[in-house]
Structure 1
Amino acid sequence: MTPELGLFALILALAVALVQGSVPVIGAARGKPGWMAVAEPAAIAQFVCVAVAFGTLIWAYVVSDFTVATVAANSNSTIPLLYKITGAWGNHEGSMVLWVQILTLFGAAVALFGRNLPPSLRARTLGVQAWISIGFLSFTILTSNPFARVFPPPADGNDLNPLLQDPGLAFHPPMLYTGYVGFSIVFAFAVAALLEGRVDAAWARWVRPWTLAAWCFLTAGIALGSWWAYYELGWGGWWFWDPVENISFMPWLVGTALLHSAIVVEKRNALKAWTILLAILTFSLSLIGTFVVRSGLITSVHSFAVDPSRGLYILLLLAVAIGGSLLLFAIRAPVLKPGGLFAPVSREGGLVLNNLLLATAAATVFIGTLYPLFLEALGGGRVSVGPPFYNLTFVPLMMPLVLVMGAGLLLPWKRADLAGLLGRLKVALALAVAAALVALWLYDGTPIMPILWTGLIVWLVAGTLTEWAERVRLFRAPLAESWRRARLLPRSAYGATVAHLGLAIAIAGMVGAGSFKQESVEALSPGQSIDLAGYHYLFKDVERVQGPNWVADQGTFEVTRPGPNGAELVTTLQPQRRFYPVTRRNTTEAAIHTTGFADLYAVIGDPAENKAGAWVVRIYQEPMVPWLWVGALTMMLGGLLSLSDRRLRVGAPRRAVRAPALVQPAE
């Protein structure tokens, strides 16, 4: 496959997108079914065209076609096949093709699985989605051609960024982009609803699966990126409030609020305008993240700060997409009829408070992320906003959120009896207080925040399990009856329970790693050792090892701990300090052994300057950090479990098929 084929496919996709963005929308406005029907085949054709382009680009990387400029700049004949493939999106041009590919994938999915949608809503939704494609396809073709040739071609490529040559970073961008771009279809549904002037329970039912799917992928993408930073960068942390981390976190926060708000629209026909606004803001934050990463405002392994003119183009797209949708919202929102009334203490009231806290938290992260960039752009100097700011602003907002979540699932719709609610939660409250007191006794002298978080985590777990027990009447009915009720519970209910438990597990990991982490940094020679958190780390030696396109200094640590029969071997850790000859860059490869309750983490750095034969060694004891990844995975599984519920599955209710009437033959 030649690169020109890929470029032609992108141009053809742009032409199809122009048809998809105009003909069905005009047909919906004029009530012409034939015109509206164009949306489905156009969406599928657009996906196929971009798939041809993306496949062509990947093939160029696999065969090391160094006549293609992006291949020459981001690949090498010696790197493993996995990183040749992932190198296709490890750069600005290729990542834009991946972005558009996922965008068209969601459009094609609506065309294939949304055939029970009202024709006008489907046509308008796919039309809005097509205009998003037009913006990014034109940006890719005009400013970021991934198939540009270079002559004469180099004998070999410049290699992929060493930090990206890792399985975590191979799968992190596709996951993250699927989450980012997945919210585009929710945005398209919101704009289409504004154009029609109608938002009802059926609309919320159609939107929820797409929101849930995007949320699951974004959760997985953020978790993968955090895990990669934890074991690859060698600094012993899993989150640093880096601007690039934050721009993926903001859509997740607002998307979580959207997911809960859509439930109120579906169940109670309320919060319509607010839900539409959240849908617009969620995708808008994804677009803002794209601008920040690709505009040259920041320099990061995640960013593509190569051409500020590209940032100007994306800024124009942002102005049209965000400004246009908010203007439409301002004009059309007043026509959306408000839904049913509800008391402050109710399921609806709890979800509103949940939304307000999540939106405020997202605004806090937004200010902390973009304020330094705006201040520097205006000539106000460079300032740094880091963990201390977020610990004082973001973290306190999460405490009442967890408090509400512990009781939220037990609240009835419309109006709740507060005394009765507290009565049902008395066991959860007692367990939470007991857990906090035990933590206070065990960790005497520990700051108060970890103690409070311990109580809140137990409160969330106990409250969530109490709600499930209430549903199945556990201990209040015969076990056979409870088992029958448990089997009949919808999967969406189980999904909510699992997701809330996953959040509790993840918070436990965050609190443990953030509050009880221990570390030691020493210059050690082979034969010397470090004692940390009850473990003995013996530095055995350093040897040179050869990789496919790197060489490394590999240290060996023998980790033991006291036992009844003397020192017991726990594990052997072999961290590496890699050197990539083509790019002349070094990376660290941490060695990690997990016990389930803690990680033993070792990093070998540069040779010590003032001690011959010694190496700078960093040893970390990371309590509870494995729970963070388990919790994130559990949240994602909870979302997928909900998505598997037939009532929420894309395709909505299955139409009943009537049996054909029996006709007697004429005599």
Structure 2
Amino acid sequence: MIPEIGQFALILGLLLSLVMAVVPMVGAARSDIAMMRSGHSLAYGVLVLTIIAYACLTIAFVQSDFSVAYVAQNSNSVLPVQYKVAAVWGGHEGSMLLWVLMMCGWTAAVARFSRALPPALIARVLSVLGMILVGLFLFMLFTSNPFDRILPFSPTEGSDLNPLLQDPGMIFHPPLLYMGYVGFSVAFAFSIAALIGGHLDSSWARWTRPWTIVAWAFLSLGIALGSWWAYYELGWGGWWFWDPVENASFMPWLAGTALIHSLAVTEKRGLFKSWTILLAIFTFALSLLGTFLVRSGVLVSVHAFATDPARGSFILGFLVLVVGGSLLLYALRAPAVHNRVLFSWLSREAFLLWNNVVLVIVLAVVLLGTLYPLIADALNLGRVSVGPPYFNFFFVPLMGVLCVLLGLGISANWKKTPKDRLLKLWLKPQVLALVVALAFPFLFDGQFDWKAALAVYVASWVLFASLADWYTKTGNARTFGGRFGKVRASYYGMLLAHIGLAITAAGVTLNTIYSVERDVRMLPGDVQAIGHYEFRFDGVERVRGPNYMAVEGRVLVSHGGSEIGVLKPQKRNYFSGGNTMTEAAIDTDLFRDVFIALGDNMGKGAWSVRLQYKPFVVWIWLGALFMGIGGGVAVADKRYRRARAKAPVQAAPVLQSA
């Protein structure tokens, strides 16, 4: 009975979404306050119904109701309860329900926190979000229903959750990632509503920006957590492989980063409005494209869902409808857009423009590398593989340019900055960055490496330029502590995000340069040394987990004659299906990881063992954490609350853009 309640809740959710897609929009056209305000109640109603459906599916998993096909395919009775709960989003159907739940949550949040904004604008925003929800509900009910039954003969046991997903990363990574994906729909909805109503002023950008920052922060954390999960779970010690599905989440992040900066210029200076609208459209479109790539079956990836082509066709049609309709609306409004306001090339908006140009170029490189094999296969040009060498060749130098521009632009003023002042502000950070860069290779490795020096220079430049700008902006404070109250929370959020990018960039480059890896054959008592670390293999023993048996190795790790500890990598064999998984053992500190993975049994007590010394790898995820925290700090700025509180209702201004 519980699955039927969930099914009924989804059907009602579809019907309410249809009403939300139509009634508020009609109300905005007729200036009918009651119809416009109905969108708020409808948003709450759809959320409640989706929560009911989600709770029903969760109960089915916890109770091991194998009459539900999705439960039978992704769980079994011995699965630990925390993974039964996480298994709700462990497959295609349940993850789509999670997607819809989060979409409803974002929609209800817009209804709740935007009451003071112009009623017509919010009515159109909620209506656009309702249209998206209609498409998602239709997709779920007709192609991906999580409540389909296996009747009358239900299995007595389930197939189990994929062993790769039986990990704490499964509990946190998908929700964070989906919060970012789905969150960009709000910026998209605000953009479409602004195009329809003509409200393309700085206030529109101020209302849109916090929603975009929150979505970007969630996506940053989701991508980072997914990278870390793959790093320790897959046993290979890599943190990014330019897999097409990895790229599917990275492309909206790049577009979203450009969108945040473009919104800042639109809010502060009234420029780049058309550019901002297009970025909002394409950021959400890339989120939908990622959904298509993951769920269509066109990709073979450890991250992809195995689905049938009918689902891919539906998503592709939905993507074409959303993007095509949005661009058509933009084209119809384009004649009303006229250019105005020139700006100095030594202004902050100019540097932000160049930042966005670089980000879009990087996005184009990643998009081309991701889609080209699919296009070539579709055109019968043969199967083509685009791997890390292609991406790294373009990505590394372009991101270096981006970091340099970031450090340059943070010191510039809006409108125009005197050249002499900029040169003075840049001098000290440049000198400090150069000193640190030249000294680092000798201090770390005892010899000079120009690639390491260049990486440290770029990261140090961003760090010192950010700190110097903060010091300059708070220079008239009487005490050091008093400096922290001199600037807005959004400014500190920006600083944290920029410093986080510098930390991640340094971690990526230095880890690539200094990592050491060896695959060795080891007998009990054998000792191997890499990267000034010694590894003594003390054999293996069998251990039992809740739903698996494992062979667990024991490796004593030493450095400089001092014991660090015993690491215990495992090879797990799961009871259901007999799947064998590698569980790496990792010793971590701020400046390095020691990574050990147990390979195959080579007979006579010998095992293949992968030993890795990975300096600065933790910085990759530490920087992402800084970026996520920076996003949270930025949206705490009081001016966004004041903007919602004031929000005057005014006649639609003439569309303008630079």
Structure 2 residue 427 is matched with structure 1 residue 433: no
State the alpha-carbon separation in 2 of the partners of residues 595 and 49 from structure 1: 46
Structure 2 match to 1:413: 414
User: Once superposed, what is the RMSD of the aligned Cα atoms?
Assistant: 1.6
Determine which of 484, 503, 506 is the counterpart of 2:504: 506
- SS across alignment from 1:652: helix
Structure 2 match to 1:107: 107
State the alpha-carbon separation in 2 of the partners of residues 275 and 20 from structure 1: 26
1:561 deviates by 2.1
User: TM-score with structure 2 length normalisation?
Assistant: 0.96
Report if aligned partners of 2:543, 2:550 keep a CA contact under 8 Å in 1: yes
1:339 deviates by 5.2
Report if aligned partners of 2:474, 2:486 keep a CA contact under 8 Å in 1: no
Structure 2 match to 1:47: 47
Structure 1 match to 2:458: 456
Report if aligned partners of 2:220, 2:628 keep a CA contact under 8 Å in 1: yes
Report if aligned partners of 1:577, 1:589 keep a CA contact under 8 Å in 2: yes
**Which amino acid in the other structure matches residue 539 of structure 2?**
D
Report if aligned partners of 1:647, 1:653 keep a CA contact under 8 Å in 2: no
1:470 deviates by 0.3
Structure 2 residue 570 is matched with structure 1 residue 576: yes
Mapping of residues 151-190 of structure 1, within 5 Å: 151=151, 152-190=153-191
State the alpha-carbon separation in 1 of the partners of residues 377 and 446 from structure 2: 44
> Do the aligned partners of residues 437 and 169 (structure 1) sit closer, same or farther apart at CA in structure 2, a change above 3 Å counting?
same
Write the deviation string for residues 20-48 of structure 1: whole angstroms up to 9, x where unpaired. 00111111112221211111101110111
Structure 2 match to 1:552: 550
Structure 2 residue 513 is matched with structure 1 residue 515: yes
State the alpha-carbon separation in 2 of the partners of residues 58 and 143 from structure 1: 20
Mapping of residues 249-648 of structure 1, within 5 Å: 249-338=250-339, 340-439=341-440, 441=442, 448-473=450-475, 477=476, 479-480=478-479, 483-562=481-560, 567-608=561-602, 611-648=603-640
> Paired residues, what number?
646
1:328 deviates by 1.0
Write the deviation string for residues 93-137 of structure 1: whole angstroms up to 9, x where unpaired. 111100111111111011111001111110000000000000010
**Which amino acid in the other structure matches residue 558 of structure 1?**
L
1:185 deviates by 1.0
Higher relative contact order (CA 8 A, sep 6+): 2
Write the deviation string for residues 56-107 of structure 1: whole angstroms up to 9, x where unpaired. 1111001111110000010011011110001011001111100111111111
Structure 2 residue 112 is matched with structure 1 residue 118: no
- SS across alignment from 1:619: strand
Structure 1 match to 2:60: 60
1:463 deviates by 0.2
State the alpha-carbon separation in 2 of the partners of residues 416 and 495 from structure 1: 23
Structure 2 residue 98 is matched with structure 1 residue 98: yes
1:289 deviates by 0.5
Structure 2 residue 61 is matched with structure 1 residue 69: no
State the alpha-carbon separation in 1 of the partners of residues 594 and 405 from structure 2: 35
- SS across alignment from 2:417: coil
1:486 deviates by 2.5
- SS across alignment from 1:425: helix
State the alpha-carbon separation in 2 of the partners of residues 439 and 171 from structure 1: 36
Report if aligned partners of 1:512, 1:623 keep a CA contact under 8 Å in 2: yes
Report if aligned partners of 1:194, 1:333 keep a CA contact under 8 Å in 2: no
> Do the aligned partners of residues 211 and 655 (structure 1) sit closer, same or farther apart at CA in structure 2, a change above 3 Å counting?
closer
1:392 deviates by 1.0
1:306 deviates by 2.2
**Which amino acid in the other structure matches residue 572 of structure 1?**
V
**Which amino acid in the other structure matches residue 578 of structure 1?**
R
Write the deviation string for residues 523-570 of structure 1: whole angstroms up to 9, x where unpaired. 1111112111111100011011111111111000011122xxxx2111
State the alpha-carbon separation in 1 of the partners of residues 275 and 335 from structure 2: 11
Structure 2 match to 1:25: 25
Structure 2 match to 1:661: none
State the alpha-carbon separation in 1 of the partners of residues 264 and 71 from structure 2: 46
**Which amino acid in the other structure matches residue 146 of structure 2?**
P
Write the deviation string for residues 426-446 of structure 1: whole angstroms up to 9, x where unpaired. 111111222232245555876
Report if aligned partners of 2:70, 2:148 keep a CA contact under 8 Å in 1: yes
**Which amino acid in the other structure matches residue 245 of structure 1?**
E
State the alpha-carbon separation in 1 of the partners of residues 294 and 117 from structure 2: 36
State the alpha-carbon separation in 2 of the partners of residues 17 and 440 from structure 1: 59
State the alpha-carbon separation in 1 of the partners of residues 170 and 300 from structure 2: 17
1:175 deviates by 0.5
State the alpha-carbon separation in 2 of the partners of residues 485 and 632 from structure 1: 26
Report if aligned partners of 2:548, 2:573 keep a CA contact under 8 Å in 1: yes
**Which amino acid in the other structure matches residue 119 of structure 1?**
P
Bigger shift: 262-271 or 337-346? 337-346
